[in-house]
Amino acid sequence: MSNKLLELITKTVDDRLGEDIVVLDFRNHNPFCDYFVIATALNHRMAKSIVDSVEEKVLASGGAIRALDGNEDSDWLLIDCYDVVVHIFVGAERHVYQLERLWGDLPKIEVQV
């Protein structure tokens, strides 16, 4: 399920104009999820649109959402889809938290959209 879910999520983020999509592979490093998907949105409206679309597509495909964190004014929104955790940052907020650097020793998955 993880690979199909990952594919669905990265395509949805790209379709909703998420930028600089990075996928970190947690499969051998974390018992709680397999992948982090990290992307940037140009503004809060786009970030909310990405989150809403990911939620809709995951549920429509038979997947489940464990948690949603953030609202339309948040600079960091998170969607926990069990095997895949999606982080959507607005603007420069992504550089504040530097998740790619924090988890820089993990393999990156090439995004095919």
Given a contact cutoff of 8 angstroms between Cβ atoms, the answer to whether 98 and 81 are in contact is no
Rounded Cα gap, residues 109 and 86, in angstroms: 14
Q: What is the mean pLDDT of residues 45-62?
A: 97
Token pair of 29, please?
Answer: 């490093």
Task: Compute and round to an integer the Cα radius of gyration of the chain.
Answer: 13
Rounded Cα gap, residues 54 and 60, in angstroms: 10
Percentage of the residues of the chain whose pLDDT score is greater than 90: 74
- Paired with 84 in beta bridges are 35, 81
- pLDDT band for position 1 (50/70/90)? very low
Domain boundaries, position 93: 2-109
How many domains does the chain divide into? 1
- pLDDT band for position 2 (50/70/90)? low
Res 54: pLDDT: 98
What's the CATH number where 100 sits?
A: 3.30.460.10
Rounded Cα gap, residues 47 and 61, in angstroms: 21
As a whole number, the mean pLDDT across the chain is 92
Structure letter (DSSP) for residue 61: T
Q: pLDDT tens-digit profile of 16-34?
A: 999 999 999 999 888 889 9
**Which is nearest to 32 in space by CA: 7, 71, 2, 69?**
2
Res 32: pLDDT: 87
- pLDDT band for position 68 (50/70/90)? very high
